């Protein structure tokens, strides 16, 4: 069977038109059970905001290396990660043995000093790392604006995901009331790769769903069910959307977590601003009631999202790998 990457228009769904929830749910179900990726169009995230976020990403990565290293990853995996020092080492898609050819900056939910989770001292719910206003004026404000808009937009898709899984539309509402998300601002320079080296090596995402604003600089590829690698089609103003390992686990394998990779760009710099959506920090992830039966028992033990993040980050994005870097 030949698969393509489906295009799903959500304009009617977001407008609340009759029948659109069911139609969108069917489209999501078909995409996430066959390919695990889709191109989402018809959304209402302002193009002005998307363009502004790409511009802020370029501004950040254009800083001198000394300024970027002053923002290096903290114990919460927030901040700057230099090129070549990381990959998804635990990937079962490919034996990744060389660092990825991109640099990245990670932002999670902004938590004030009085936030109970931040005050707890637990990992992954601590402070973000920000350049000061002299170094990069308005960067923090603009990055948080995009993160907030994407968090709201991504959670608006959850009723369609729930119906796609034969659940009531509000099934995921409580789980994502204060979602644990990550916004990654990445820069892929046009550099030559060694053998088995990539802009980002073959992997699956660890989270629930990923929303990637598309650009006209190619690079992102997904592994189709046939095993072939296929370029994600570029549609201006769209998002490339995929389900991740947490979605796969929650749905007992019903929804895919599809391998993907990025090749280094040729002749142009590529920037990427993926938004990774996850549930509340301590939410228990256990097989959904519609995703198991007598002949398909739950495949994985229940686990909190916090425990899952700790396992995954420790194995792949260790901040200690950045400590010896100098400008």
Assigned domain for 2 exists: no
CA dihedral sign of residues 159, 9, 255, 312: negative
Give per-residue pLDDT as tens, 236-246. 999 999 999 99
Give the residue-averaged pLDDT of 17-43.
98
Instruction: Tally Cβ neighbours within 10 Å of residue 35.
Output: 20
Assigned domain for 178 exists: yes
Report phi then psi at 184, rounded to 5: -110, 125
Distances (CA, A) of 74 to 20, 86, 101, 224, 325: 43, 15, 21, 36, 14
Q: Which residues contact 129 (CB under 8 A, 6 or more apart)?
A: 71, 72, 73, 74, 78, 79, 80
Percent of residues, the chain, with pLDDT higher than 90: 86
Assigned domain for 63 exists: yes
**pLDDT score of 85:** 79
Assigned domain for 69 exists: yes
- 65 against 90, higher pLDDT: 65
Residue 122 DSSP one-character state: -
Range of the domain at 288: 7-322
Give the residue-averaged pLDDT of 160-170.
98
- Angstrom distance (rounded) from CA 102 to CA 62: 13
Assigned domain for 195 exists: yes
Assigned domain for 327 exists: no
Q: What mean pLDDT is reported for the chain?
A: 93
Assigned domain for 196 exists: yes
Assigned domain for 1 exists: no
Give per-residue pLDDT as tens, 1-13. 457 899 999 999 9
Count: domains in the chain: 1
Q: CATH number, domain at 115? A: 2.60.120.330
**pLDDT score of 322:** 61
For 202, how many CA atoms within 13 A lie in the half-sphere containing its CB? 15
- 231 against 316, higher pLDDT: 231
């Amino acid at each position: 069977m030949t698969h393509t990457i489906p295009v799903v228009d959500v304009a009617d769904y977001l407008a609340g038109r009759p029948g659109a929830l069911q139609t969108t749910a069917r489209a999501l179900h078909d995409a996430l059970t066959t390919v695990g990726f889709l191109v989402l169009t018809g959304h209402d995230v302002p193009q002005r905001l998307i363009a502004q976020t790409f511009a802020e990403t370029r501004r950040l990565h254009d800083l001198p290396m000394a300024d970027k290293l002053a923002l290096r990853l903290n114990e919460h995996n927030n901040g700057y990660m230099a090129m070549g020092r990381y990959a998804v080492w635990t990937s079962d898609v490919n034996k990744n043995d060389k660092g990825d050819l991109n640099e990245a900056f990670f932002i999670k939910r902004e938590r004030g000093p009085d936030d109970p989770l931040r005050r707890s001292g637990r990992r992954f719910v601590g402070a973000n790392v920000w350049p000061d206003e002299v170094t990069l004026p308005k960067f923090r404000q603009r990055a948080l604006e995009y993160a907030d808009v994407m968090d709201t937009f991504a959670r608006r898709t959850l009723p369609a995901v729930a119906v796609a899984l034969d659940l009531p539309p509000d099934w995921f509402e409580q789980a994502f009331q204060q979602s644990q998300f990550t916004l990654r601002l990445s820069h892929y320079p046009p550099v030559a790769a060694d053998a088995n080296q990539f802009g980002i090596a073959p992997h699956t995402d660890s989270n629930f769903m990923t929303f990637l604003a598309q650009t006209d600089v190619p690079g992102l590829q997904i592994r189709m069910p046939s095993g072939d690698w296929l370029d994600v089609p570029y549609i201006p103003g769209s998002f490339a959307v995929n389900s991740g390992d947490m979605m796969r686990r929650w749905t007992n394998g019903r929804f895919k977590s599809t391998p993907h990779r990025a090749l280094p760009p040729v002749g142009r710099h590529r920037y990427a601003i993926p938004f990774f959506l996850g549930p509340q920090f301590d939410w228990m992830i256990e097989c959904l009631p519609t995703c198991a039966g007598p002949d398909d028992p739950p495949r994985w033990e229940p686990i909190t999202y916090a425990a899952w993040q700790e396992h995954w980050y420790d194995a792949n994005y260790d901040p200690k790998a950045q400590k010896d870097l100098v400008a």
